[in-house]
């Protein structure tokens, strides 16, 4: 946001319901409501000619928003490490994830951040304790039920129909070493669905590209915006 703001763009980010400083509502922790909340923010601020950017589950949120509410206010979209069109990972994996979340949420956060999220579990990884700490702090700010329900939202939603509706340029940024959202299940399938899509693969890139590859992501966003 700082990078794009310094290049003259108005940059807006919202805390998804149940996350950050937003209300920890018991209900509505699903993709359809996430998209409706995003639409409400856009309408409230009277935004037009915008470029929507979503990472991971946020990519699904952006895609469902565009598929449901159209692209009249959106010029372009960017999906980073996005779960679209679907994760394609056996639900048994996420059942175990849910069990570990309930049993010991702090340990799950620590293991996830120390491992696959940033790719810190790979040989010769440049491990950042600061990023691990930040990940855990953001996790603890979120409501317990909100994150629990979000597991279902990101693991069981199919966005194929939404992607087929998109008539705007869409840039996909994805790491080919993403252990959380495998590129073969998502980005490589998504690019075959989109009418006006472009895929940029980050060799060796993990899931958290906006943190681990911040400078390159920033430049790729700027280049795409300025086209």
Annotated domain spans of the chain: 2-89+157-226
Q: Which residues have a catalytic role annotated?
A: 56, 178, 207
* DSSP codes, 112-156: HHHTTTTTTTSTT----HHHHHHHHHHHHHS-HHHHHHHHHHHHH
pLDDT at 143: 97
Q: How far apart are CA 58 and CA 83, in angstroms?
A: 8
Mean pLDDT for the chain?
Answer: 97
Percentage of the chain beyond pLDDT 90 is 99
pLDDT at 77: 98
User: In 10 A of CB 173, how many CB atoms?
Assistant: 27
- Quickly name the fold that domain 2-89+157-226 has: Rossmann fold (3.40.50)
Q: How far apart are CA 34 and CA 62, in angstroms?
A: 9
Q: How far apart are CA 29 and CA 54, in angstroms?
A: 17
Residue 21: φ, ψ to 5°: -100, 5
pLDDT per position as a tens digit, 113-172: 999 999 999 999 999 999 999 999 999 999 999 999 999 999 999 999 999 999 999 999
pLDDT per position as a tens digit, 3-37: 999 999 999 999 999 999 999 999 999 999 999 99
């Amino acid at each position: 946001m700082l990078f794009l703001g310094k290049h003259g763009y108005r940059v807006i980010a919202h805390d998804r319901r149940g996350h950050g400083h937003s209300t920890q509502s018991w209900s509505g922790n699903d993709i359809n409501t996430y998209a409706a909340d995003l639409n409400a923010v856009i309408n409230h601020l009277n935004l037009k000619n915008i470029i929507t950017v979503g990472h991971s589950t946020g990519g699904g949120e952006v895609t469902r928003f565009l598929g449901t509410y159209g692209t009249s206010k959106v010029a372009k979209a960017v999906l980073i490490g996005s779960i679209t069109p679907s994760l394609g990972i056996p639900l048994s994996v996420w059942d175990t994830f849910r069990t570990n979340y309930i049993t010991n949420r702090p340990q799950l956060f620590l293991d996830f951040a120390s491992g696959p999220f940033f790719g810190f579990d790979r040989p010769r990884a440049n491990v950042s304790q600061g990023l691990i700490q930040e990940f855990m702090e953001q996790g603890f700010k979120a409501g317990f039920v909100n994150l629990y329900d979000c597991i279902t939202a990101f693991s069981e939603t199919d966005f194929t129909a939404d992607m087929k509706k998109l008539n705007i340029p869409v840039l996909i940024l994805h790491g080919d070493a993403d252990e959380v959202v495998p590129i073969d299940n998502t980005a490589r399938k998504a690019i075959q669905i989109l009418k006006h899509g472009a895929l940029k693969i980050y060799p060796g890139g993990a899931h958290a590209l906006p943190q681990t590859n911040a400078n390159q992501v920033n430049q790729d966003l700027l280049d795409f915006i300025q086209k």
